[in-house]
Chains A and B, each alone.
Chain A
Amino acid sequence: MKRVYVNEQWCLGCHLCEYYCAFANSGKDDMVKALKNVDIHPRIQVEDSGDVHFAVSCRHCEEPLCVKGCITGALTQKDGVIQIDKEKCVGCYTCILSCPYGAVVPSEEGVVQKCELCLTNSAGSPACVAGCPNRAVVYEER
């Protein structure tokens, strides 16, 4: 299936992917209104150290430890895409304990959030990829 893959050598560490992610998931239609003076909580996060930069988001694993370990059944995998039902989630953080990539993060509503490939928001396909100026994140089959 198509996933968000990282081309580490192309990543500039600009963090734009984080802003596009936060905007796409804000539910707002104006990027300035959505992000100005706002502490963003993106589902993709860039790690930086010296000259090395790369973005980390959900891998949509074939053997998803977060889904298998979820105590509520809030995390499910459908057609390969791992989704979170925030109504069912109680914020126990067993998924944060389980995810080998650190890709499930607490959300502002007190439960957790993760990349759902923008399939359910207005972007329709990964906004981080569309917004990356250097093809350091791509959405493709590998």
Chain B
Amino acid sequence: MKYVIIGNSAAAVGCVEGIRSQDKEGSITIISKEPYHTYSRPLISYLLYGKTDRERMKYRPDGFYKETGCTVMLGKEAVRIDSAAKQVVLDSGETVAYDKLLVATGSKPFVPPMEGLDTVKQKFTFLSLDDALALEKAITADSRVLIVGAGLIGLKCAEGIADKVGSITVVDLADRVLPSILDETGAQMVQRHIEQKGIRFLLSDSVQRFENGTAYLQSGKTVPFDIVVVAVGVRPNAELVQQAGGAVNRGIQTDTLCRTSLSNVFAAGDCAESLDVTTGQQRVLALLPNAYMQGECAGINMAGGEKEYDNAIPMNAIGFFGLHMITAGSYEGEAYVVQTDSGYKKLVTADGVLKGYVLIGDVARAGIYTAMVRERTPLKQVDFELLKEKPQLMAFARAERAKKLGGVRV
């Protein structure tokens, strides 16, 4: 069996480990545009922050490819999938034949058209190791940095370079920071915390044009800058599948076995959609844990095993300057909210289950909530009053605990 994987990040590694759990013999070829050993993409901000380094940010040890029997083609770009001939065509003109193919091409930064952006000399995106290295090289202790986008990527970038630059201004069209994971109250708390580090926010505003080192905003405000980082969002790299005639919505469509509409072609990670069980919608869940698990599931199925990827949920654990937050699920429903000076907790219930939650500050044991969201645990089976207090296994029935902690099998 010839397995080919386009991509070399979390979904690709998950796929390799999934394949090898079933098939120790088949050949695996990894094709990667980036010239690096597999590394953890979310660590690029930690690299600039000084919390990790090039060696430690490797997602798997140096011996990974050898131990798993992978042939790696680094620095080569897949430009076409010929699904009839079952081969991948590379930019070099080479072709790589496959029996089963995984597309794990990730995402790319979305750079909206902004007038004058082409005249900005020092402009960056923040998604890859090369992006981070280029930004690191450009910044100085006096740099005035303008970050467009107050989402996860923009704010992690801000944290990463905060101690190394003169000033940081973050502009976002949204009325709050981290709009994809936080509500207004939570966002305000996080914003205040980040502002204490000297980072300035201009929200509900956008750049109208860049001209001679100044950004002119919709509101009439002006922001002089030396460096611009565009962190508005990401778009799935779905073109290869689309051009081969595969079904693509926002991301590559996949079924619960991680198959695309092209035969023998699977997809996983930020390029692909999956079923969000909290909403019942197909969507791109561009998160590392989901990439790994979807990739692993794809690998198992590619190798003849059987595994469904049917319990994906949106979820995030992230921190800024020591303030941690964990969020999961969706926020449509009845909310139970506790707000203190140092923390915030919001539990959202609907249809008799915990749909989602936000914890800021005290995030201890949050996974107990996550499991309830993922498994859609009926609230009538737990003591929800105890769970409102804090995540605890005391809220479950004794028989349930005997399974969880006592090894009693169902």
- Using a CB–CB cutoff of 8 Å, the interface residues on chain A facing chain B are 3, 5-8, 47, 49, 52, 54-56, 59, 65, 68-69, 71-73, 87-88, 90-102, 104-106, 142
Contact = CB atoms under 8 A, between A and B. Distances in A.
A72 B289 contact: no
Contacts of B85: none
A47 B319 contact: no
B405 A56 contact: yes
Contact of B364 (A65, A92, A105): A105
B363 A93 contact: yes
Main secondary structure of the interface of B (DSSP, over half): mixed
A47 B392 contact: yes
A90 B405 contact: no
B52 A8 contact: no
A52 B404 CA distance: 16
A102 B366 CA distance: 7
A90 B363 contact: no
Contacts of B58: 73
Contacts of B52: 72, 88, 90
Contacts of B40: 71-73
B2 interface: no
A72 B43 contact: yes
B138 interface: no
A88 B405 contact: no
Contacts of A49: 386, 394
Contact of A97 (B60, B292, B315): B315
Given A87-B56, A100-B367, A69 B394 contact: no
B268 to A, nearest CB: 13
Interface string B4-42: 000000100010000000000000000000000000101
Contact of A5 (B56, B366, B407): B407
Main secondary structure of the interface of A (DSSP, over half): mixed
Nearest to B51: A90
Nearest to A140: B407
Contact of A73 (B59, B317, B368): B59
B244 interface: no
B309 to A, nearest CB: 12
13 contacts: A3-B407, A5-B405, A54-B405, A65-B367, A71-B40, A90-B43, A92-B319, A96-B363, A96-B365, A98-B315, A99-B367, A102-B364, A102-B368
Given A68-B14, A87-B56, A93-B319, A6 B42 contact: no
A5 B406 contact: yes
Contacts of B319: 91-93
Q: Which 5 A-B pairs have the closest CB atoms?
A: A102-B365, A69-B289, A100-B371, A142-B407, A99-B367
B407 A96 contact: no
Contact of B292 (A7, A69, A100): A69
A91 B320 CA distance: 11
Given A93-B366, A105-B365, A142-B406, 14 more contacts: A5-B406, A6-B406, A47-B392, A52-B398, A59-B405, A71-B40, A72-B43, A73-B58, A73-B59, A94-B317, A100-B368, A101-B367, A102-B368, A106-B364
Nearest to B391: A102
B292 A96 contact: no
A104 B363 CA distance: 11
A104 B367 contact: yes
